Chain A
Amino acid sequence: MLKFRSKSPKGEMNIWLTSMGLTVGLVMIIGLFSLIVVRGLHVFWPKNIATYHLKEDAKSKMGPNAVLSAIEVKKVQKKLAGAEEGPAEFQIFIGNKDVYGLPFKFLPEAEIARIEYEKDVMIVERLEYGDAILKPVELMLEDGTRIKAGSKNFIEKLHEAVEIGTDRRLDILKIEKGKIGVVSDKIANLKDDIARYHYHAKKKGTDPSEKVAKAHEKIEKLESEFATFSGEARDLHELQEKAILSYRLASGQEKSMPVAEIVEFALPNQLNFSGKVKSFAHSFWGFLSQNPREANTEGGIFPAIFGTFMMTVLMSIAVMPFGVIGAIYLREYAKQGPLVRIVRICVNNLAGVPSIVFGVFGLGFFIYVVGHGIDDFFYPWREGRPTWGTGGILWASLTLALMTLPVVIVATEEALAAVPRGVREAALACGASKWQMIQRVVLPTAAPGILTGLILAMARGAGEVAPLMLVGVVKVAPSLPVAGSWPFGMDQKFMHLGFHIYDLGFQSPDAEAAKPMVFATTFFLILLVVLLNLGAIRIRNILRKKYAAGTF
């Protein structure tokens, strides 16, 4: 019988090395990903509110603020000189910016006498000044009825009052953004018309006064409409002040606020698990669907999600035809020789150019040359009020399309090259011209590979921030980058998740408050990129299944 010596063959070490490399990479990716998911989702989980009673000696220093209701953020060990561990401190979230100034505070563990979890502490998300942590005292409804906190239907009534306020806030928004927005758009258009009349009249030497007078008449009419709508909005605003919630802080200080200021409230110390899950889902959805408030540190990120989505879609629409057509020319038509090789090398190297360079190019070419050109040609009377000669979602998308073009070209070329020769010959043998062969046989066969290129391009484009800062991303956009009529909002500035992260993390006035938002926003950016990619992968799989490559 033969016996095999288990002597490891040459090269076994290298297998270990490759698997180790893979493991390191995987661990890093999984680690980063779970960090973002855990920290990002943790933001929405309702946390219990502790009430900290400080010791006597601290009381003399802090006065009435020696009792604080707050959420523990983390416990830290203060570092002393000489690397010695110092006393422990709690970082706590006290909220109530309007009273305390700073919403976060460090509390030395040694100063705390006891910690209590009171059932009736409430956390209230407000339109302004962030969250408040409070104990409700009394609710005064719009009709003047007063309900004491602790009475049976207090919470229910408060919910109702908050709902009335929210509904009315939406009504106000409808008037302000909708009706008033339409009117002021019309006024702006008329003013633009007047400028145009003057411009044309000056050029032709005619008298514009008749047309101008007509426009002015219309503007006056619109302005009176404007006043009516503003009056409506003002009346509603007044109503919003009527229902009042009075409350007490942990220090005993009494305060009150209009119920309409409340976005949401919760009593986390009373919530059981399913209640917390519900509250989690609620905040999650709120973050997803609301507009940001308070310099982006409060509220949601909906405009940023929408802007990112829109930009990625526009970019894909722009990059696909150019990339595919370019690759078709390079691979199918151009005579393969040194020139084509050089072009190919250049295209490949373009993928390595830092993205900010594309941003500068987008600013210089799309905005200053193309945009200003369009403005000068089509709207010469709008001097100093650029329409296209300023950053906007179209230019941003085109800039990123340019940046991701090499990815699409390279992937498409590879996909074209992988189309078997036999299929091409068969098409020609059937009497197809070269273009018919490419269009009807080669492209469908290469479609999954081309989509892989698009997927890579989207993954790169959606997460890009630097070039966007030059070509149209803003911290707060007045409106979403869509519109019902030409140019469909494509000239609008827009918000973007990547920039939002940068803005929150590095530009925010309140770094502590921004930190959880950064994680949550990052989570959604990754989620959006993953979803967009899954969409493209799905299309690719459908194509693959339809033309399952079988034996090829």
Chain B
Amino acid sequence: MIHVDDFSFWYGEKQALHHIEMMIPEQKITALIGPSGCGKSTLLRNMNRMNDLIDGVKHEGDITLDGTSLYDPSVEVISLRKRVGMVFQKYNPFAKTIYENVVFALRVAGNRNRKELDEVVERALRGAALWEEVKDRLHDSAFGLSGGQMQRLCIARAIANRPQILLMDEPCAALDPIATLRIEELMQDLKKEYTIVIVTHNLQQGARCSDKTAFLFEGKIIEFDDTDKIYNNPSEQKTMDYITGRFS
């Protein structure tokens, strides 16, 4: 379980997150919604410390994963990222074969057991609902796949190492409606095993597939509640305005 505890974040002088307070439940899909530039990606990318790579960032407050702070000196970023997988907005397979893409996380962890890798490839690709489509060309380049397939390959890559949590930053933004539908179905399967946090720009999508929804605005959490409540009966006027499309 992720607990975001009074977390603030700055890019240089610019504050992108203000005192975020969130408890993300296990084996549920939590959606982050809000107008663009409100800090959704920033919040998500802090959950596996992806923002550490950027020069001049600083933070206050804490994010804990099962009670341990992500910023605890004893936490290694690399092992953290093994527990928290991530899928990006633009599908980004590596210049490798499908097989090598999936087992990448295991390879960098030093796993050379061929049998184990084979099993992981099948499990991860089945998990990403891609196995049937690619099982005959596992050793072809990943760039031969369609956009939707590439994104599912990226999901397979992210779940190959069985992370606890899967972060998804607008995973369907670059896909056509049919591919989007497949990913949404897939997420329902995945939530049986993984805790999912998804950033979405698409309100219908958020309503369709999430259990909890957080509405962010200008770096602050305006409202965080069950999805039904947010979409049907929000407590805040701002949320209402956003849901009904009065601004975005």
A residues with CB within 8 A of B = 420, 422-423, 425-433, 436, 440-441, 444-445, 447, 546-551
Chain B residues within 8 Å of A550, by CB: 143-144
Contact B158 A429 (CB under 8 A): yes
Give me 7 other A-B pairs in contact (C-beta within 8 A), A422-B88, A425-B92, A431-B79 excluded: A423-B95, A428-B53, A429-B86, A431-B82, A440-B104, A441-B94, A550-B143
Interface SS of chain A = helix
Contact B95 A431 (CB under 8 A): no
Q: Within the complex, what minimum Cβ distance (angstroms) separates B163 from chain A?
A: 9
Q: Within the complex, what minimum Cβ distance (angstroms) separates A98 from chain B?
A: 66
Question: What are 9 A-to-B residue pairs whose CB atoms are below 8 Å?
Answer: A423-B92, A425-B86, A426-B86, A430-B81, A440-B108, A445-B95, A547-B141, A548-B143, A549-B95
Q: A426-B94, A548-B144 are in contact. Are A436 and B86 (CB under 8 A)?
A: no
Contact B96 A431 (CB under 8 A): no
Q: A426-B88, A429-B50, A429-B158 are in contact. Are A547 and B78 (CB under 8 A)?
A: no
- C-alpha spacing A548/B144, complex, angstroms: 8
B residues with CB within 8 A of A = 48, 50, 53, 78-79, 81-82, 85-86, 88, 90, 92, 94-96, 104-105, 107-109, 141, 143-144, 147, 154, 157-158, 161
Chain A residues within 8 Å of B79, by CB: 431
Contact B104 A432 (CB under 8 A): yes
Nearest B residue to A421 by beta-carbon distance? B92
Selected from A422, A432, A546, the residue in CB contact (under 8 A) with B92 is: A422
Q: Within the complex, what minimum Cβ distance (angstroms) separates B126 from chain A?
A: 19
Q: Within the complex, what minimum Cβ distance (angstroms) separates A488 from chain B?
A: 34
Selected from A422, A429, A441, A551, the residue in CB contact (under 8 A) with B95 is: A441
Q: A429-B86, A430-B158 are in contact. Are A445 and B94 (CB under 8 A)?
A: yes
Contact A433 B108 (CB under 8 A): yes
Q: Within the complex, what minimum Cβ distance (angstroms) separates B148 from chain A?
A: 12
Chain A residues within 8 Å of B50, by CB: 425, 428-429
Chain B residues within 8 Å of A447, by CB: 95
Contact A444 B95 (CB under 8 A): yes
Chain A residues within 8 Å of B53, by CB: 425, 428
Contact B143 A431 (CB under 8 A): no
- C-alpha spacing A432/B77, complex, angstroms: 10
Contact B81 A428 (CB under 8 A): yes
Nearest A residue to B81 by beta-carbon distance? A431
Chain A residues within 8 Å of B157, by CB: 426, 430
Chain A residues within 8 Å of B88, by CB: 422, 425-426, 429
Nearest A residue to B174 by beta-carbon distance? A551
Chain B residues within 8 Å of A431, by CB: 78-79, 81-82, 105, 108-109, 161
Q: Within the complex, what minimum Cβ distance (angstroms) separates B122 from chain A?
A: 18
Chain A residues within 8 Å of B109, by CB: 431
- C-alpha spacing A550/B91, complex, angstroms: 12
Nearest A residue to B79 by beta-carbon distance? A431
Q: Which 6 A-B pairs have the closest CB atoms?
A: A547-B95, A550-B143, A422-B92, A429-B86, A430-B105, A431-B82
Q: Within the complex, what minimum Cβ distance (angstroms) separates A550 from chain B?
A: 4
User: Total A-B pairs in contact (CB under 8 Å)?
Assistant: 82
- C-alpha spacing A547/B140, complex, angstroms: 9
With most chain B CB atoms within 10 A of its CB, the pick from A420, A429, A433 is A429
- C-alpha spacing A429/B158, complex, angstroms: 8
Chain A residues within 8 Å of B144, by CB: 548, 550
Nearest B residue to A549 by beta-carbon distance? B143
Nearest A residue to B89 by beta-carbon distance? A422
With most chain A CB atoms within 10 A of its CB, the pick from B82, B92, B105, B109 is B92
Q: Within the complex, what minimum Cβ distance (angstroms) separates A45 from chain B?
A: 48
Chain B residues within 8 Å of A433, by CB: 78, 108
Chain A residues within 8 Å of B107, by CB: 440
- C-alpha spacing A265/B79, complex, angstroms: 78
Q: Within the complex, what minimum Cβ distance (angstroms) separates A478 from chain B?
A: 48
With most chain B CB atoms within 10 A of its CB, the pick from A425, A550, A551 is A550
Chain A residues within 8 Å of B108, by CB: 427, 430-433, 436, 440
Chain A residues within 8 Å of B81, by CB: 428-431
- C-alpha spacing A188/B48, complex, angstroms: 68
Q: Within the complex, what minimum Cβ distance (angstroms) separates A416 from chain B?
A: 13
Q: A427-B104, A431-B82 are in contact. Are A546 and B158 (CB under 8 A)?
A: no
With most chain A CB atoms within 10 A of its CB, the pick from B50, B82, B90, B94 is B94
- C-alpha spacing A441/B94, complex, angstroms: 6
With most chain A CB atoms within 10 A of its CB, the pick from B88, B144, B161 is B88
Contact B86 A444 (CB under 8 A): no
- C-alpha spacing A444/B108, complex, angstroms: 15
Chain B residues within 8 Å of A423, by CB: 92, 94-95
- C-alpha spacing A440/B94, complex, angstroms: 9
Q: Within the complex, what minimum Cβ distance (angstroms) separates A229 from chain B?
A: 56
Q: Within the complex, what minimum Cβ distance (angstroms) separates B98 from chain A?
A: 12
Contact B141 A548 (CB under 8 A): yes
Nearest B residue to A444 by beta-carbon distance? B95
Contact B94 A444 (CB under 8 A): yes
Contact B92 A420 (CB under 8 A): yes
Nearest B residue to A422 by beta-carbon distance? B92
Q: Within the complex, what minimum Cβ distance (angstroms) separates B41 from chain A?
A: 11
Chain B residues within 8 Å of A426, by CB: 86, 88, 92, 94, 154, 157
Q: Within the complex, what minimum Cβ distance (angstroms) separates A335 from chain B?
A: 9
- C-alpha spacing A549/B245, complex, angstroms: 39
Q: Within the complex, what minimum Cβ distance (angstroms) separates A545 from chain B?
A: 8
Chain B residues within 8 Å of A430, by CB: 81, 85, 104-105, 108, 157-158, 161
- C-alpha spacing A549/B144, complex, angstroms: 9
Q: Within the complex, what minimum Cβ distance (angstroms) separates A336 from chain B?
A: 9
Q: Within the complex, what minimum Cβ distance (angstroms) separates A428 from chain B?
A: 7
Nearest A residue to B45 by beta-carbon distance? A425
Q: Within the complex, what minimum Cβ distance (angstroms) separates B179 from chain A?
A: 14
Contact B96 A547 (CB under 8 A): yes
Q: Within the complex, what minimum Cβ distance (angstroms) separates B48 from chain A?
A: 6
- C-alpha spacing A422/B87, complex, angstroms: 10
Chain B residues within 8 Å of A429, by CB: 48, 50, 81, 85-86, 88, 158
Nearest B residue to A550 by beta-carbon distance? B143
Nearest B residue to A423 by beta-carbon distance? B92
Nearest B residue to A448 by beta-carbon distance? B95
Q: Within the complex, what minimum Cβ distance (angstroms) separates B108 from chain A?
A: 4
Q: A422-B88, A429-B48, A429-B86 are in contact. Are A546 and B141 (CB under 8 A)?
A: yes
Q: Within the complex, what minimum Cβ distance (angstroms) separates B103 from chain A?
A: 10
Q: Within the complex, what minimum Cβ distance (angstroms) separates A362 from chain B?
A: 37
Chain B residues within 8 Å of A432, by CB: 78, 104-105, 108
Chain A residues within 8 Å of B143, by CB: 547-551
Chain A residues within 8 Å of B48, by CB: 429
- C-alpha spacing A428/B51, complex, angstroms: 11
Q: Within the complex, what minimum Cβ distance (angstroms) separates A228 from chain B?
A: 59
With most chain A CB atoms within 10 A of its CB, the pick from B48, B96, B147 is B96
- C-alpha spacing A422/B104, complex, angstroms: 15
Nearest A residue to B94 by beta-carbon distance? A441
Chain B residues within 8 Å of A420, by CB: 92
Chain A residues within 8 Å of B78, by CB: 431-433
